[in-house]
Amino acid sequence: MIQDFNQLACFVAVAEELHFGRAAERLCMTQPPLSRQIQLLEHALGTTLFERTSRSVRLTAAGRVFLDDARRLLQLAEQAAVTAQRTSKGNAGRVVIGFTTVMGYELIPGLIAAAHRGLPDIEIVLREMVAAAQLDALENHTIDIGFLWPLTSRMTALRHETIFRDPLVVAMPEHHPLAARADVALDDLDGLPFVMFSPERGRYFYSLVNGLLLAAGVTPRYVQHLDQVLTVVGLVGTGIGVAIVPASVARFRFEQVVFRPIRGKTVVAEGRMAWRDDHQNPALKTFRSFAVRHFGH
């Protein structure tokens, strides 16, 4: 068995120089220790690598075959050392990202495309999941960072940063009477069939929309409570009712749904980037700084 990579380096130097004196000079060592390393290597392999005479040094058939593998092993060892150094500094490694469906339409693809160009040595693994599942995954260390709608009561132990703001708009069937207006007053929704978010699994948007309606003294007629933004808008498209949703969902181009701003009100949903402060992944800090610059642009 090969004892260390120094023996391989000695072998490659002699094989390339075909002269022990020149090889020793190249390695900044004297000839006797170099000869000893070659002898130890040949003993470990159980074969002769060089044919030696007083006038020449030549590779044996086994030596010629072994030379390619020795070079490859030395290259891999050097690459492994560089990778380890880059990983410890956060310039290489692996980052597992959680994201919600809506953020996965434009926000995350744009970030990942930029990261592939700007952080080529960091492997990015994507996990699509709702906000509550992302918080569970952050707590369990199964994702490194989440892109989600904030659930304030569960984020006290996390670090988080707002990366974009999404105004709320009214979604309605394309032939709804309110669709002819440029904007919609909250009073216009009083008593209308309304598709609402679930107070459990759609808690963030439920709180935003419910607070908005309560403040305006408006009481729609709730026909369904659903978890996901896209499901809410999909049901609106069937004509069952109207809803209040983040404006970015309009980019999904629902054919039978129109979106109108809320008259006189600017309420925004905040997309957050969340991570554990006690993470042990050097690549996460690099990726997070890159994401902040990306969204800043």
pLDDT single digits (tens) 194-236 = 999 999 888 889 999 999 999 999 999 999 999 889 999 999 9
Residue 55's pLDDT band (cuts 50, 70, 90): confident
Tell me the pLDDT band of 87, cut-offs 50, 70 and 90.
low
Minimum mean pLDDT among 147-156, 253-262, 267-276: which range? 147-156
Write down the domain spans for the chain.
Answer: 5-88, 93-163+270-296, 165-268
pLDDT reported for residue 297: 63
Closest alpha carbon to 256 in 241, 239, 237, 274:
237
Question: What mean pLDDT comes out for the span 56-73?
Answer: 90
Model confidence at 86, in pLDDT bands (50, 70, 90)?
low
- pTM beyond 0.75: the answer is no
CATH of domain 5-88: 1.10.10.10
Measured CA distances, 292 to 42, 126, 141, 149 (Å): 55, 18, 22, 17
93-163+270-296 with 165-268: one CATH topology?
A: yes
Residue 149 binned pLDDT confidence (cut-offs 50, 70, 90): confident
In whole angstroms, give the CA distance from residue 202 to residue 129. Answer: 13
Fill in the amino acid letter for 141: H
Beta bridge partner(s), residue 167: 268
**93-163+270-296: CATH homologous superfamily?**
Periplasmic binding protein-like II (3.40.190.10)
The answer to whether 264 and 185 are in contact (CB under 8 A) is yes
Percent helix, percent strand, percent coil in the chain, to nearest 5: 45, 25, 30
Q: What average pLDDT does the chain have?
A: 89
| Max mean pLDDT range (68-72, 279-283, 288-292) | 288-292
As its CATH architecture, domain 165-268 has 3-Layer(aba) Sandwich (3.40)
Contact 217, 185 (CB under 8 A): no
Q: How far apart are CA 21 and CA 23, in angstroms?
A: 5
pLDDT at 1 over 60: no
Distance CA 220, CA 244 (A): 11
The C-alpha atoms of residue 92 and residue 122 are separated, in whole angstroms, by 5
